[in-house]
């Protein structure tokens, strides 16, 4: 099955809501990237976290809620930057294209969020 950022929203919404029930029905261990990231933030005692991703990742609550429940503050870039990131992820990264200029811009965005 091909999964891209457009249908990932529905998959994440389903998994977030029904993860424990789904886990009971399958024999493979399901690892949540959200849970794993929160655990690592807790281990490192990090409380302020920048979130970069596709538009739905930055807009929706499936990442933010668990972090906030664990005392973390989630920061996302402004709307224009979110749109830029989304377009580059969908049009380049999801197609295996790693553009050096895009990589530099992603780093600049992350660095700006740290300031």
For residue range 3-29, list pLDDT tens digits in order.
444 455 566 666 666 666 777 888 887
Q: Tell me, what's the pLDDT at 31?
A: 77
The whole-angstrom separation of Cα 62 and Cα 39 is 15
Q: Tell me, what's the pLDDT at 13?
A: 63
Q: Tell me, what's the pLDDT at 1?
A: 38
b/e for 77-110, b at 16 or more Cβ within 10 A? beeebbeebbebbeeebbeeeeeeebeeebeebe
What is the DSSP-derived secondary structure letter of residue 93?
A: G
Its pTM stands at 0.75
**pLDDT per position as a tens digit, 58-88:** 988 878 888 999 999 999 999 999 999 999 9
Residues sharing a CB contact under 8 Å with residue 72, sequence separation 6 or more, in sequence order: 38, 41, 46, 47, 48, 49
Residue 91 has pLDDT above 80, yes or no: yes
Averaged pLDDT score across all residues of the chain: 85
Q: Which two tokens stand for residue 25?
A: 């029905």
The whole-angstrom separation of Cα 94 and Cα 106 is 15
Residue 30 has pLDDT above 90, yes or no: no
Cβ atoms of 5 and 54 within 8 Å: the answer is yes
Instruction: For each of the domains in the chain, give its residue range(s) and CATH number, in order of start.
Output: 5-114 (3.40.50.1860)
């Amino acid at each position: 099955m091909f999964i891209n950022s457009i249908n990932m929203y529905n998959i994440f919404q389903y998994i977030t809501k029904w993860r424990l029930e789904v886990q009971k029905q399958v024999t493979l261990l399901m690892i949540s990237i959200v849970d794993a990231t929160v655990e690592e933030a807790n281990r490192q005692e990090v409380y302020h976290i920048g979130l970069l991703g596709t538009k739905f990742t930055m807009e929706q609550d499936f990442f933010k809620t668990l972090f906030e429940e664990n005392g973390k503050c989630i920061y996302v870039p402004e709307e224009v930057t979110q749109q830029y990131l989304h377009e580059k992820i969908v049009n380049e990264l999801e197609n295996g294209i790693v553009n050096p200029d895009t990589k530099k811009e992603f780093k600049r965005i992350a660095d700006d969020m740290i300031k």
